[in-house]
Structure 1
Amino acid sequence: MRTGTMAAVVFVAALCILVPVPFHSHAAAAAVPVLDAEIAEGEYAHSASFSSGAFNLLWQVEGDLAFFAMVARTGGYLGVGFEPELMMKDADMVVGWVEANGSAFVHDSYSMDSFGPVFRDVDLGGTDDLLGFSGQMRDGVVTIEFCRPLSTDDAYDNDIPREGKTKVIWAVGSELDPASLPSNAGVGVIDMSSGGTESAWDASTFYVPGLALALGLALASVLLAHRSGRAHSFLGAASALSLLGTGLPALIFSPGTSALGPWGIIAPLALLLAAAAMGGLAWLGAWNRRWERAHLWMALAALACLALALLTALSI
């Protein structure tokens, strides 16, 4: 079982696999957008619809300025982040919401870590570099518009390219408090000049079940050596069910082409390997010890797929 322990240690450094989030882009000729929370047809040059319309982002570059609009059906906040390092870490965020009295609040913000928290730039010693914003809620749909320079001198802002691709993250909250967990979120890659878009990955879905799988393998060498494998079996079963329960719905209901191309096969492959390793082969091993080795190697293969998916995703 030493092999299992070493693989688990390697995986803990990776921790999670990423799940594809599909979206579609549209482009049209446009004049300079007006920040009035009213989106006229063709007002923005480019737009992208994320997660089957759960979040819509529109954008246009004019000189040294970038105009954006966020649109989603919600009673809570909307957020978009530019150029995160991994998940939310170091993302240049803009978060906005509309109060019940119609007042709109939009903040230039920054995400400190992979899972937040998100702070206003001014609270971190930076500056609010939004040059203007507006927001409204109508018929359950929130619209937030804002304008900012492509480049600032603020340490808590990331440059937005005039041309070419930029990675974005987005979130829709069911509550007005931006510190609350989002009800929907995702990742995308947009082209600021052409309007082209690509699928990207969100690194949080398999975080906990993947860690449980790694711990199950690591503990196996200790627990089974003392003929106390219940904890190992529990962790293995829990991780397999979690992987299937969180991963399969994402794969079924979020189809799309992976930004990593052929690497997209890693996600379903890892799920199948994990299910086989934690389920069928473990059951067979109870009847015939020859299957125990197959159970181990299938689990190791699942971990390798999970870790490889993360490493390849870091190149986005």
Structure 2
Amino acid sequence: MLLHVNYYAKGSEISLRTSSSILGLMYKKIYSIGIVIVMMATLVAGCASGEDDAEPTTLPPKEVAIDGIVTQDEYEGSMELNSRLTLYWRTAGENIVMALVGDTDGMVSIGFDPSVGMKDADMVIAWIEDGALSIFDCYGTGASGPHPKDADLGGQDDILEAAGSESGGVTTVEFMRPLAASDDYDKDIATDGPTTLIWAYSGSDSFTAQHSSRGSATLEI
């Protein structure tokens, strides 16, 4: 009987030792898995934090292609001066790009900040003839004209770039000029308030053509 009891006692000891070994291995595995989970959680949190702290991507401003063609969303703003003439604009640093699209195959013009009528207006007059653009930086010297070129008055031509096209009886003229006046025959175009405009078009390609229609408007950029 004693031997029988000792046999079971030894068997129990072996069983306990085996169980302890298994438990030890299980604890080690659980501990290792816990470390892996903590490391993964830290990595994910770090990635999320990096995404939150990342600066948003800023797309460069859309540029106007001065090619005599007005495309959708090319300009920041537009204004119907009347049912047959539309003005478009987009600022470009210290300059402004404008487009006149007129339902005419003759002259189109725009003037800035007149005192009365055409007097003292800084004007751009343009037309397309035989596929070629003629465009002039002018100044109104009287309420009803004339409007000689700036260069003829001792100023300078401040049209920096221009292009035009004529198709199907529609004339399109695009041009770039400074926002700020650069001589006595130029006017500022305000970006923080209104600028008075005068406009006109005719059915003839001529610097002195009689206007088919004309008017005034207020531009706010």
Q: 1:120-145: CA deviations, max 9, x gaps?
A: 11111110011100011011100000
From 63, 69, 75, the counterpart of 1:32: 63
Aligned position for 1:120: 149
The equivalences for 1:151-230 within 5 A come to 151-192=180-221
CA shift, 1:83, in A, is 0.3
Q: What 5-or-longer segments of structure 2 have no aligned partner?
A: 1-60
Structure 1 position 133 matched with structure 2 position 194: no
**What 5-or-longer segments of structure 1 have no aligned partner?**
1-29, 193-316
2:154 is equivalent to residue 89 of structure 1:
no
One-letter amino acid of the structure 1 residue matched with residue 65 of structure 2: V
Tell me the residue number matched to 1:147: 176
What are the residue-to-residue correspondences of 1:33-52 with 2, within 5 Å?
A: 33-51=64-82
Distance 1:153 1:62 in 2: 17
Query: Where do 1:49-64 residues align within 5 Å?
Result: 49-51=80-82, 53-64=83-94
SS at match of 2:176: strand
Tell me how far 1:36 sits from its aligned partner.
0.2
2:105 alignment partner in structure 1: 75
Give the count of matched residue pairs.
161
Give the CA RMSD over aligned residues.
Answer: 1.1
- Structure 2 CA distance for aligned equivalents of residues 147 and 177 of structure 1: 22
Cα drift, residue 163 of structure 1: 2.4
The secondary structure found in structure 1 opposite 2:148 is: strand
- 1:54 CA displacement: 1.5
- Offset of residue 74 of structure 1: 1.0
Q: State TM-score, norm by structure 2.
A: 0.71
Structure showing the higher helix proportion among its residues? 1
The structure with the largest alpha-carbon Rg is 2
Report the CA distance between 1:118 and its aligned residue.
Answer: 1.0
Q: Match for residue 217 of structure 1? A: none
How far residue 60 of structure 1 moved from its aligned partner, in angstroms, is: 1.2
Q: Which has the higher contact order (CA 8 A, sep 6+)?
A: 1
Aligned-partner Cα distance in 2 for 1:87–1:32: 34
Q: Distance between the aligned counterparts of 2:214 and 2:64, measured in 1?
A: 26
Shift of 1:171: 0.3
Extract structure 1 runs of 4+ deviating beyond 6 A: none
Is the Cα–Cα contact under 8 Å of residues 99 and 174 in structure 2 kept in the other structure?
A: yes
Separation in structure 1 between the aligned mates of residue 219 and residue 178 of structure 2, nearest angstrom: 18
Q: Give how far 1:153 is off.
A: 2.4
What SS does structure 2 have at the residue aligned with 1:71?
A: strand
Query: TM-score, normalized by length of structure 1?
Result: 0.50
Name the amino acid aligned to 1:128. Answer: D
